Chain A
Amino acid sequence: MGEENKVVLHGMWISPYSKRVELALKFKGIPFEYVEEDLQNKSPQLLQYNPVHKKVPVLVHNGKPIAESIVILEYIDETWKNQPRFLPQDPYKRAKVRFWTSFVQQQLCESLLTVIKTDGEVQQKAFGNLFEKLEVLEEGIKEIFPDGNPCIGNYNIGLLDLVMLSMFSPNNKIQEEVFGMKIIDPEKTPLIFSWLTVLHQLPLVKESTPPDDKVVAIFKFVRENALKSSLA
């Protein structure tokens, strides 16, 4: 890999925003250098590359930085035009993908984060909110999977897939350990459950997934910190 196409990703292993960019690069077969950031001690490069938000992920392509995960994903798709294409060509279909991606990113992710970081009544309300939104998504993706069966063969990973799979998984074991219940319930949202199952079984996704105990530990850590600081 010469200097003409140098790609560096500044990320953090458990950040779903970072993970989706990492996977996007892998799916496109783009060689890249990965820099793990310590969010308590951000590197000077990160602060230089993303002075506005000071967050991961940041993609640096030939020295030029791009921030905000969904902006990065579209950039990758437009710069490396090989398969898989993350967005369809037709403007109306693109608008639909962007709509659902925005829904997952803004509505679902926010609800999930509230569930993780709160307890008691606030958490109960957030759970209700999250499940309501998941039901909306369940209905909404029926037009993406008209025969009801996302199947693993020749799956063309796209923008919505990347955003969804980096935030949610069908791993009920982890969910039950952290939250005491299933978040993605195969009985309540069967289409989402089978979609996520297909996505998480893709080899590139599987090999990038940290072991269960590590994931549980970090969730519990984030949760404890959030609850502690809300009492302070």
Chain B
Amino acid sequence: MSEEVVLLDFWPSPFGMRVRIALAEKGIQYEYQEEDLRNKSDLLLKMNPIHKKIPVLIHRGKPVCESLIQVQYIDEVWHDKSPLIPSDPYQRANARFWADFVDKKIYEIGTKIWTTKGEEQAAAKKEFIESLKLLEGELGDKPYFGGDNLGYVDVALLPFYSWFYAYEKCGNFTIEEECPKLIAWAKRCLQKESVAKSLPDQEKVYGFVLQLKKAFGIE
């Protein structure tokens, strides 16, 4: 029943992408509702009155907010298909640690890359590459962070890959040069249908970033 699951989202949001990937991996039918963030729907404001943000996952009329909480919820409810979080407590803790690392570092530092210039931007680029290298270390020789299949950390990190081209253009650098393993990982993931249909085209995201820069007067 497709009305059972509704996702309120905004196409370039990496947080929304996480939920799209999780739902696709599990083969869950859902209704996708695109929000205009300058004109938020009554449903969004009702379902997430505290943060008024997307994504919001609505299951049987009840809202779940915050992307990583949503991914965990999806994994727990639809637990018999394509598990994202390991069953062993230590491996679970490790997965949560690295997903938390992605949350703490990648989004904020990535944002600094396209919103700042000069020294601040240079520092952000350096920290960004360092963080990606740490993630490469965690990936090791595994095809995915989750081992043989997509896991929680893959889902947490993949959406930012769709923003890499925008970061590279704004920051005037190449991520693949410094982190070839991570780029190989992302391309490997994109071969999966669940990922390919959940991530927007990188050029489209770059176009969006340029629009934002214009709107906010950022050079």
Query: Which residues of A come within 8 Å of B, CB atoms?
Result: 52, 61, 64, 66-68, 70-72, 74-75, 78-79, 91-92, 94-95, 98-99, 102-103, 136, 140
Contacts and interface: CB of A to CB of B under 8 A. Distances in A.
Dominant secondary structure of chain B at its interface with chain A: helix
Interface in B25-67: 50, 59, 62, 64-66
The 4 A-B residue pairs with the shortest CB-CB distance, nearest first, are A91-B76, A75-B93, A78-B89, A71-B96
Given A64-B90, A102-B66, A92 B73 contact: yes
A72 B90 CA distance: 10
Listed residue (A67, A74, A95) with the most chain B CB atoms within 10 angstroms of its CB: A95
Listed residue (A66, A71, A79, A102) with the most chain B CB atoms within 10 angstroms of its CB: A71
B93 A66 contact: yes
B76 A94 contact: yes
B103 to A, nearest CB: 10
Interface string B66-98: 100110110011000000000001101110110
Interface residues of B, number: 22
Contact of A103 (B50, B64, B70, B101): B50
Contacts of A67: 97
B97 A66 contact: yes
B76 A75 contact: no
B76 A68 contact: no
A52 B77 contact: no
30 contacts: A52-B101, A61-B90, A64-B90, A66-B90, A66-B94, A67-B97, A71-B93, A71-B96, A71-B97, A74-B93, A74-B96, A75-B89, A75-B92, A78-B92, A91-B73, A91-B77, A92-B59, A92-B73, A94-B72, A94-B76, A95-B64, A95-B69, A95-B70, A95-B72, A95-B73, A98-B66, A98-B69, A98-B72, A99-B66, A102-B69
B201 interface: no
Contacts of B93: 66, 71-72, 74-75
B123 interface: no
A26 B5 CA distance: 40
A64 B76 CA distance: 26
A75 B85 CA distance: 13
A148 B93 CA distance: 34
A99 B69 contact: yes
A91 B77 CA distance: 6
B134 interface: yes
Nearest to A137: B50
